[in-house]
Structure 1
């Protein structure tokens, strides 16, 4: 009877825990990231009575969570990809709308400026027509400045996004490290921390919404987390802290580094953070450089042509537009005292790209900062023999140490600084520069109007209008590609989530059936205990 009572009590204990597990599943049916838990029952070690082997009841051997590592990994990966494409599309759409605006875009202002040149050419002595030309020129310059200011504002927003994302990543890294500590302690004591594992998976999924990470499970149950090119974000119970730093050349450009270690911005991908940085590197910076190139070469072309005419007073035309000089940026890591002066030697050879000039053991090296291509240099950097390449010249003063660097963006300040240099309408050089020039002469004005169809960009490769359309087209193409990518990754994410839920999700109908099944087993065990107790009492009474 004691064996009977023991078996009954083991059943009561086992099915009570099974009922607790089922109720736990039901309670968390709508909890994000929760994995359904299942009980595993096994018979207890039987007792040997002579030649007989008698069973001793049931025991709860384990409580496992329904889990598919492949499905979870796929969900994390597609989450990172979807959030990157979604962020890239949202930011690129803003750029696309800004540049293609039919009222505030660059193309309308450029067309009005050309129209006013044509109008002034029909009556070159009219001061009213000349004032209209100056007004439309100022409007065009203001449009360049306004768009560049918008770009600067978006860049500042990206900086804020990076800062907020880094704080979120650090918070999640600490949470994962704390969970690792508790999980490894529980595993070491022989436990199965199912709910803690779900919490850690949820934190990893949230982390992948911000940035793509890879993971490696350790023998003690902890999970190592890596970011970028394999840099450790979490090792066991120790999180590594990310921090926001400034670019070594540009203090207005935020970068990401490990605390006390190197910069990892170039290896960040996936998630909203990866999308923001991809937008900045692949859309914003190239568009801003192209905008500067358009402003620079428009101003250069008009100034060059304007200088070939004479104004109403018979004077040779001066600059029609003004633009800022090139200001090279010094790396904060430089240890030498060298300074760099950069001047434009051929405006129409400029490309709009940025360049890094670096002092090596064998001399100065120039490389394109966009495609990392090494550019051939001539000269030695002295005032008598400047370093020259890509339409600009460089004079080095002072002593440069090995690995000292300078960033050169020849057209970087052009869009924000371009302005009409003439205030007196009589100063517009509409006439030719010869003896036959007079107040009604419009030869130079017609030549300036002809710049609309002249290929002046980058050594005659395209017109200004072509350059504007190329800039718009690239942004539009990126926007469309990101839109398609976001839709595609959204579908894959929905499929991955459904696949994970098929394995780990709670089915309330199934849990209701389990609840009834375990309840009946519990009640039956209770009945067995009652019978065992009754038999025991009968035996006691028989010997009383």
Structure 2
């Protein structure tokens, strides 16, 4: 009877292993599926004595071939990829717009100062004076168009951040729900592998939105937190992330967990939220500030120089530009200004004098202090802004390519442990089939021995 029971345990164990291999092959194309395998354990003898054999084999559990380190590497790589995937389109658009001759501020400045140079040939010419006003209006329009693009990008960043926050909340709630199911399933002795696969897929999707730290708990659940340590998911509890609009147009992230509330600091968010924050903070905001500073400098210096001269009728000069940092129309030519009002002369009695006009032309070579550039020649500011943006975009593209490579390598590393290898599973099936057949042969022999023993006493 001992031989019969031992062979039966072997056949049942082989069946379980075959079922696991079959399940693996069936899910070879299932995203995020983690392969499983039977864990064999020898059963000790049922009675004492030096001749007592073991009681066969048992399958105490199905192994889930999961490597927490490789999973974490894959999620971290996904955070970096999400970070650069998000910022790249904004940077490309900004570089294209600012580098295009049709919208370039440099082209507008060239046309404006060229018109001033042309007027110096005959400062009393009405058409040449009007051309200065026309070129000033065109320059103001370029500033306003660019400012509109920058404001649109900032609004788009805010909108995408709000959408990403909603996704973070949805995924966090789903992970918390799966945590609860996993813990309950394990407590009843049921294999929770499919639930854990579903949860890991949710964590991977969440890692694309924001950088994470993940810690597996004893009950099978996973605690998820931001890189700063602020909790997102703990057991069956999920945090709620929200955006707060600030008066300066920026946004602050707030997180509520249980009865606690946290302000999420920027700078190391990772994922899409980190990419949006980094782009807005290190690229978009400096460009907005620099463009506004350039517009204000042009308006202030041109107006100051105009005030030092005299119009055609000998009256003191008036402002040419009007600057308004709070408006979408960043710069404009003063309403109703005529060519004859331009103060080109330094002598009220000499309309043909061009001394003040020459001073206006010289403004282009004057130094100006800009927030993110330092002291720069006024005519070179826009070139340096575009140059800096090009460098940032080039670095971001290189970082994006690196992040994509790292993610691919992390996925391959994960698959080497957790992915299904059909060749390996085919070998396993043959081995478990042989194991099953051998144990069934032992059962047949055991039956023959039992029948022979009965016949002896018949």
On whether the aligned pair clears a TM of 0.5, the verdict is: yes
Range with greater deviation from structure 2 (103-112 or 257-266) = 257-266
Q: Does 1:42 align with 2:37?
A: no
Q: 1:406 matched to which residue of 2?
A: none
Shift of 1:443: 1.9
- The two structures have a TM-score, normalised by structure 1, of 0.78
Shift of 1:542: 6.8
Encode CA deviations 1:287-330: one digit per residue, 9 max, x unaligned.
Answer: 10111000001000000111111112221110010122xxxxxx
Q: Does 1:454 align with 2:366?
A: yes
Shift of 1:262: 3.8
Q: 1:104 matched to which residue of 2?
A: 103
Q: 2:175 matched to which residue of 1?
A: 176
Encode CA deviations 1:127-178: one digit per residue, 9 max, x unaligned.
Answer: 1112221111111101111111111111111111111111111111112111
Range with greater deviation from structure 2 (310-319 or 187-196) = 187-196
Q: Mapping of 1:279-298 within 5 angstroms?
A: 279-298=279-298
Q: Does 1:321 align with 2:321?
A: yes
Structure 2 residue corresponding to 1:430, chosen from 344, 350, 362 = 344
Encode CA deviations 1:219-256: one digit per residue, 9 max, x unaligned.
Answer: 32222111152111111110011112212x23x43332
Shift of 1:57: 2.1
Partner SS, residue 78 of structure 2: helix
Shift of 1:434: 4.3
Whole-angstrom distance in 2 between the partners of 1:144 and 1:416: 8
Whole-angstrom distance in 2 between the partners of 1:229 and 1:528: 61
Q: Does 1:484 align with 2:372?
A: no
Shift of 1:280: 0.6
Shift of 1:501: 1.8
Would you say the 8 A contact 1:246–1:254 is kept in 2?
Answer: yes
Q: Does 1:65 align with 2:37?
A: no
Q: 2:302 matched to which residue of 1?
A: 302
- Decide which structure has greater helix share: 2
Range with greater deviation from structure 2 (156-165 or 495-504) = 495-504
Would you say the 8 A contact 2:266–2:274 is kept in 1?
Answer: no
Q: 1:234 matched to which residue of 2?
A: 233
Structure 1 residue corresponding to 2:252, chosen from 255, 271, 276 = 255
Would you say the 8 A contact 2:223–2:233 is kept in 1?
Answer: yes
Unaligned runs of 5+ in 1: 325-411
Q: 2:354 matched to which residue of 1?
A: 442
Would you say the 8 A contact 2:10–2:56 is kept in 1?
Answer: yes
The alpha-carbon distance between structure 1 residues 85 and 51, as it changes in their structure 2 partners (threshold 3 A), is: closer
Would you say the 8 A contact 1:144–1:415 is kept in 2?
Answer: no
Shift of 1:72: 1.9
Whole-angstrom distance in 1 between the partners of 2:126 and 2:399: 55
Q: 1:529 matched to which residue of 2?
A: 443
Encode CA deviations 1:368-404: one digit per residue, 9 max, x unaligned.
Answer: xxxxxxxxxxxxxxxxxxxxxxxxxxxxxxxxxxxxx
Whole-angstrom distance in 2 between the partners of 1:53 and 1:88: 70
Partner SS, residue 319 of structure 2: coil
Whole-angstrom distance in 2 between the partners of 1:456 and 1:61: 77
Whole-angstrom distance in 1 between the partners of 2:415 and 2:294: 53
Whole-angstrom distance in 2 between the partners of 1:172 and 1:16: 37
Whole-angstrom distance in 2 between the partners of 1:141 and 1:107: 12
Partner SS, residue 312 of structure 2: coil
Shift of 1:5: 2.6
Q: Mapping of 1:465-544 within 5 angstroms?
A: 465-536=379-450
Q: 1:202 matched to which residue of 2?
A: 201
Shift of 1:493: 2.1
Q: 1:382 matched to which residue of 2?
A: none
Q: 1:145 matched to which residue of 2?
A: 144
Would you say the 8 A contact 1:105–1:143 is kept in 2?
Answer: yes
Shift of 1:28: 1.9
Partner SS, residue 38 of structure 2: strand
Q: 2:331 matched to which residue of 1?
A: 418
- Cα RMSD of the aligned pairs, angstroms, is 2.3
The alpha-carbon distance between structure 1 residues 186 and 133, as it changes in their structure 2 partners (threshold 3 A), is: same
Whole-angstrom distance in 1 between the partners of 2:22 and 2:312: 94
Would you say the 8 A contact 1:310–1:430 is kept in 2?
Answer: yes
- The two structures have a TM-score, normalised by structure 2, of 0.92
Q: 1:134 matched to which residue of 2?
A: 133
Whole-angstrom distance in 2 between the partners of 1:458 and 1:9: 84
Would you say the 8 A contact 1:457–1:467 is kept in 2?
Answer: no
Shift of 1:49: 6.4
Shift of 1:257: 0.9
Range with greater deviation from structure 2 (173-182 or 138-147) = 173-182
Whole-angstrom distance in 2 between the partners of 1:216 and 1:477: 38
Q: 1:55 matched to which residue of 2?
A: 54
